[in-house]
Structure 1
C-alpha cells in the first residue's frame, strides 16, 4: 500500500463532520440481456494486385510508365466500416467450435502521374478466416457478429508495368482489424465487471471433437477461455541502462552489462493487456567463466532484445507487493531466433526486477539477476473480494 506524506509547513485543516452513509437501496434484479459467450479481436494482412479497368486511363498510365514518369497509386479504405461485409458459417459447434468467416472489403484506388490524379476507380478484395469460438449447440450464425474494427492501407506505392491485355499492375496491401462477438439472449441475475476481448490464440485442431450440449435450456458458457479471469494484482516497471550481472547458459557464464526494460503487467487487472520488452547490452570484454569450463563455443555477440508473445499465468504476493508473470517469447542472439519461456519478477519494496529465460527443456539460459527498476504494484479487486463485502 502506498502512503502519502503531507507538505512540510502546510496549515492544519480541521476535520469536517463525517457525512452519514447513504442507505444502500440495491436489490437483486432479473434482466433479459444478450450474454457474451466469446469475443475475439484479431487482424490479417491481405496482399493482392489489381488493374485499371478503364481502357483509356490504362493506356495513359502505360505511356507514362514507358516515358519514365513517376506513377504511383493510393489505396483508400471505406469511409464507413459497415460497408465491409462478413459472412459467417459455423462448421462445427463445440466448446470451442470451428467457425468460418468470409470478408469483402470495398476499396478506392487513386492513380497519380507526377503527383497529379490520373484516374480513380472502385475495387473489392476478399479474405477468409477459420477460427475457434465458443459456439455450443444452440448458437447459430445469427448469434455471431463479425465486424471490421479498422481498415489500414499503405500510402502511395509505385505502379508496376504490365503486359497486355491487363496493363499496369497496382499492388494492394491492406490490414483488416476484426472484432467477433458471440452472444445469446438469457435471463440473468448478475454482478458484473468490464471485460476485454481475448487474443485469437486457440489453434484450430484437426479433427475437432463434437460436444452434444442440446439438453440444456441455455447454451453453456466457456469459462476456460472467456471471459478471462480477473488477476489479483497489476504492476508496471521501468529500467533504463541499469547495471546488471547476468548469467548466460546452463554452465553459468557471468556477464556484466546494462538492462533496459519497460513493462506493463495485467493493466486493468487483465492478463491479456500485458506487455513488456527487455534489452541486455553486454559491457564485459572478457566474460567471467566458472572453472572447470565445459567445452562450449562462447557466443561472439551477447547483446539481445527479448519480446514476449504470450502471457500464461501470474502469481501475486500482496504482502510483499511483488508479482511473478510467466509466458513465452522470442530472443534473437547471434542472428538465431529462439523460442523461450520467460519468468519476470517485479518487487516494489526493493524497487528491482529480475528476468529468467528457459529453453524448451526447462534449463535456464539467461538470468539477469536483480537490477534496479522503478516498480509500481497495485492490488486488484476480484469477484471474491466483492462478494465478501456484500
Structure 2
C-alpha cells in the first residue's frame, strides 16, 4: 500500500468513478399506438369529452430504463485498422401519460402507460460493461386520436397514435477506482447578516418649511 504523502499542498487520494469506454450521440423517433380502454381516474361514463384537447408526456422508466438484451463481438475496419467492437441489442423503457384538457381548463391525466422500444448500437462495450442512456431531449406529441368514448374510469380512443422523439447520449461504462493528486476544498466564508442603519423618509425641503405645498416624493 502506497503511503499518502503531501505534494506541494496536494494529497494522493482514491475515488470510485465510472470509466466511459465509448460514447455516441444519436437521434431516434418512433410511434406508439395504444389500443383498448386507457385508465383515466376521475372519468365516468357520463363525462363529456367534447372540445377536449389531447396531449402527452413521456419519461424514462424508473426501474430498468435500459436493458442489454444481447451483446456480440464484431470486427470493424477503422482507418485501416481492425477493431473489435460490440453490437448491442438494447431495450429502452419509457412511461407515457395522456393529458386531457377541457375547455373550462380542467385537466385529467391517464394512468402510466409502459412503453418499450428496442435498438441496435455499436460501441466499445466488452462483457462486464453497462450501458447508460441520457436523454438531452425526450418529447412526444399526439398525432391522431380518432373518436373518444368515456367509460367508468376509462377512455377508449378509436385511432390513437403518439409520436416520441429522442436525442440520446449513449455511453458504455464500468466502475473503477482511480488515484490522483488533489487539493482539499476549504469552506467559504459565512455571509453575515447585520442590522441595517436607521433610515428616515425623503424630505420635501423645497416646499416645506419655506413654503406650503404637497410632497410628491
TM interval, shorter chain, is 0.5 to 0.7
Q: Aligned to 2:88, which of 99, 123, 128?
A: 99
Instruction: Kindly report which structure 2 residues correspond to 1:159-198, keeping only aligned pairs within 5 A, or say none.
Output: 159-161=145-147, 167-169=156-158, 170-185=160-175
Cα distance in 1 for partners of 2:109, 2:66 equals 25
Given candidates 50, 53, 57, the residue that maps to 1:72 is 53
Indicate the residue corresponding to 1:127 in structure 2.
117
Answer whether contact 1:110 1:119 (CA < 8 A) is retained.
yes
User: Is 1:145 the equivalent of 2:132?
Assistant: yes
Equivalents in 1 of 2:28, 2:96: separation in Å? 16
Q: Answer whether contact 2:93 2:114 (CA < 8 A) is retained.
A: yes
Q: C-alpha distance in 2, partners of 1:158/1:134?
A: 40
Question: Per residue, is there more helix in 1 or in 2?
Answer: 1
> Alpha-carbon deviation of 1:115?
5.2
Distance in 1 of aligned mates of 2:169 and 2:85:
17
Could you say which residue in structure 1 is the equivalent of 2:4?
none
Residue 180 of structure 1 and its aligned partner are, at CA, apart by: 2.1
**Offset of 1:73 from its aligned partner?**
0.8
Give the equivalent residue in structure 1 for 2:211: none
Partner of 1:83 in structure 2? Answer: 62
Aligned-partner Cα distance in 2 for 1:186–1:174: 35
Question: Cα 1:149–1:33, aligned 2, differ >3 Å: closer, same or farther?
Answer: same
| Deviation sequence 1:239-263 (CA, Å, 0-9, x none) | xxxxxxxxxxxxxxxxxxxxxxxxx
Cα RMSD of the aligned pairs, angstroms, is 4.1
1:112 is matched with which residue? 101
Measured in 2, the distance between the counterparts of 1:181 and 1:54 equals 37
1:52 alignment partner, one of 29, 38, 41: 38
Alignment check: 8 A CA contact 1:86 1:101 kept: yes
Note closer, same or farther for the CA distance 1:152–1:111 as it changes in structure 2 (3 Å cut). Answer: same
CA distance in 2, matches of 1:121, 1:91: 36
Unaligned runs of 5+ in 1: 1-23, 191-390
Gap regions ≥5 residues in structure 2: 1-6, 75-83, 181-217
User: Shift in Å at residue 158 of structure 1?
Assistant: 6.1
Q: When the two structures are aligned, how many residues end up with a matched partner?
A: 155
Structure 1 or 2: larger strand share? 2
Q: Using a 3 Å threshold, how does the CA distance of structure 1 residues 115 and 106 change in structure 2: closer, same or farther? A: farther
Q: Hey, what does 1:20 align to over in structure 2?
A: none
Deviation at 1:75, TM superposition (A): 0.6
Q: CA deviation at 1:37?
A: 1.2
1:234 maps to none
Q: Is contact 2:53-2:102 (8 Å) kept? A: yes
Contact persistence 1:150–1:177 (CA under 8 A): yes
CA–CA distance in 2 between the matches of 1:147 and 1:105? 13
Once the two structures are superposed, residues 11-47 of structure 1 have per-residue CA deviations (whole angstroms, 9 ceiling, x without a partner) of xxxxxxxxxxxxx9699x8967543210122232121
